Structure 1
């Protein structure tokens, strides 16, 4: 499992997940090692092994692994020479790597928009290159979201609304500002969108539960039967309606509150299509999460896919995640799944 070294020498990554995987995979007859690409030699990796009995990590030298689970937590870290060289070496040795990269929201839109079944689920989206394109898009849709192409957890999101008199409101998680003209709006916003790449996405009117919008948060894995949902949770907005993410005040609710056969069918369909489409275009993805929703008119919407899912707050989903990942490790490495 790949991670990233911090400036102080410690390892950046999902330590809780790494430890849970090691506990499970030892019982299946395997071993997992966390390492950083700069610790790769011709025949070994220098990394860290979790010892469940002692509840501690120890430094080890291990053979080149049978499979690589990419959990490098930062986008820039994936672009370093050491990481690129390591991944090339693993590919040359036919060592399977899964989840090869973070996702760009516009690249993702272009991939999924090629699929006829997915196209109706995608809000209209453009890459923001200049003020003229954005103005035309806002004039057409009146209410849009601006999202950084390479961020997650609702970071950097704005909602932009234009009324019949031409007044433009710009809303962030913390405040709302109004502008009397598009020129004034662009003068305020341009330093942000010109520094970071952004997309503009049509705002849909979401369905509500007890007065607040809600989204499906779906975890998915590849297995013997292809891509299947591992678990589904509900995230509901709190005081602000911009996002439903928990760090931004969102609430966690059980899927059973809204579950229906139609929702189940939609979730199974998008998991299969998204997994197959991503793997076809970008390399094998064994795990991902999906943010999806339903509009006030009952239409399904896909908002985002995360190729490096964080831990789910639902313990039962996280436990199933570890089981599915360990099974995936054996399958992709060419070994039979041990009978447990």
Structure 2
């Protein structure tokens, strides 16, 4: 049924005879007046007098106070939701209180964002793009409101890479896929780790998209070879390396990880990129992509010169079984330990000996370049939103 937004007094109204509410509010909506033709009209589902689903998408502000985040995803989600009688509101943690939210509504037919106010949503999808925001008072207050009001919230937050390693190391079925990893704490421990494994990766525990990653190698003559996405530097010995790099490695949280030698395509390493969603009580694979390195061998991320390859070129029964297994195990375990995960992505590899390796789990996947995977993602999210808000 149609619902109308009156921007003059920032209220949602209707013209039906029955009592209607919107979102999590139990307060009835007002009736639209004779000027309803001048009001914004949106068609929503109705279930037992409640209109929705009303989905909140939590993001954050940029330094210039404009809204940050994946705008393309937000717009496409709105289009998908409106096809099925739902809407989404993009808002920041500062703009929620115990009664409602202030945010932005995307209108596909106008290709326009407008400011609106709504009652509290049926659920909130966490797309806050900056880790520091999840440490703020406003974020904690926002999540507390959702908890008190019993509003589903996913995903719970960014994942620290080292904390994830320690968590998965305790899982009987997942620990076998982990490269040995330690936190970078001091010169002696890092040197001992390098002496043991010879080739290691240094990774920031709180970064994404391959940012800040180095490969460190101990050569036969004692020379230390450091390789990043953009440069290669030889050091006479470990002490010289540490004197130059220790501020970087200890200034922010870093981990050191043994190199898991990757299988190659055309003499370049490749990774599996796996997208997964919670779907009707299970964790299922939404899409699988392959990323091959091209310009450098540190990462396979496309912004760093990686190349996209269709999974069908490498698809095997063994790969399918591993991916389905790890999605199920990871989704269940992470939700049990960290809070409900509605979606996540996985970076995994394969050694020349056929051993699978789990590199990383991302709680807030970016858009996939494969159009079919991204289309599947939108439908999976739509179904999940409707299910959790009880409009399925």
Q: TM-score band, normalised by the shorter chain?
A: over 0.9
User: Where does 1:297-308 land on structure 2 (aligned, <5 Å)?
Assistant: 297-308=353-364
Alignment partner, residue 162 of structure 2: 106
CA shift at 1:280, angstroms? Answer: 1.2
State the SS of the aligned residue for 2:353: coil
Residues in 2 aligned to 1:139 and 1:154: alpha-carbon distance in whole angstroms: 25
- Aligned equivalent of 1:265, options 290, 312, 321: 321
- Aligned equivalent of 1:77, options 109, 121, 133: 133
Is 2:343–2:363's contact at 8 Å kept on the other side of the alignment? Answer: yes
| RMSD of aligned Cα (Å) | 1.0
Alignment partner, residue 241 of structure 1: 297
Q: Deviations over 1:81-133 (max 9, x none)?
A: 11110101111111110111101000111111111211111100001111111
Residues in 2 aligned to 1:153 and 1:229: alpha-carbon distance in whole angstroms: 21
Alignment partner, residue 7 of structure 2: none
Residues in 2 aligned to 1:232 and 1:213: alpha-carbon distance in whole angstroms: 17
State the SS of the aligned residue for 1:48: strand
Deviates more, 1:228-237 or 1:163-172: 163-172
Alignment partner, residue 199 of structure 1: 255
Deviates more, 1:38-47 or 1:310-319: 38-47
State the SS of the aligned residue for 1:269: helix
CA shift at 1:174, angstroms? Answer: 1.4
User: Where does 1:251-290 land on structure 2 (aligned, <5 Å)?
Assistant: 251-290=307-346
Residues in 2 aligned to 1:301 and 1:102: alpha-carbon distance in whole angstroms: 21
Residues in 2 aligned to 1:188 and 1:208: alpha-carbon distance in whole angstroms: 33
Larger radius of gyration: 2
User: Where does 1:1-340 land on structure 2 (aligned, <5 Å)?
Assistant: 1-333=57-389, 335-337=390-392
Residues in 2 aligned to 1:169 and 1:66: alpha-carbon distance in whole angstroms: 53
Is 1:111–1:277's contact at 8 Å kept on the other side of the alignment? Answer: no
State the SS of the aligned residue for 1:153: coil
Is 2:293–2:300's contact at 8 Å kept on the other side of the alignment? Answer: yes
Is 2:97–2:142's contact at 8 Å kept on the other side of the alignment? Answer: no
Is 2:200–2:257's contact at 8 Å kept on the other side of the alignment? Answer: yes
Deviates more, 1:2-11 or 1:145-154: 2-11
Deviates more, 1:158-167 or 1:145-154: 158-167
| Structure 2: unaligned runs, 5 residues or longer | 1-56
Q: Deviations over 1:4-29 (max 9, x none)?
A: 11232311011111111111112222
CA shift at 1:336, angstroms? Answer: 4.3
Is 1:158–1:170's contact at 8 Å kept on the other side of the alignment? Answer: yes
Runs ≥4 residues deviating over 6 A: none
Is 1:25–1:32's contact at 8 Å kept on the other side of the alignment? Answer: yes
CA shift at 1:42, angstroms? Answer: 2.6
Residues in 1 aligned to 2:191 and 2:123: alpha-carbon distance in whole angstroms: 47
State the SS of the aligned residue for 2:132: helix
Residues in 2 aligned to 1:143 and 1:169: alpha-carbon distance in whole angstroms: 9
Is 2:98–2:145's contact at 8 Å kept on the other side of the alignment? Answer: no
State the SS of the aligned residue for 1:156: coil
Give the count of matched residue pairs: 336
Is 2:190–2:256's contact at 8 Å kept on the other side of the alignment? Answer: yes
Is 1:35–1:46's contact at 8 Å kept on the other side of the alignment? Answer: yes
Residues in 2 aligned to 1:208 and 1:152: alpha-carbon distance in whole angstroms: 23
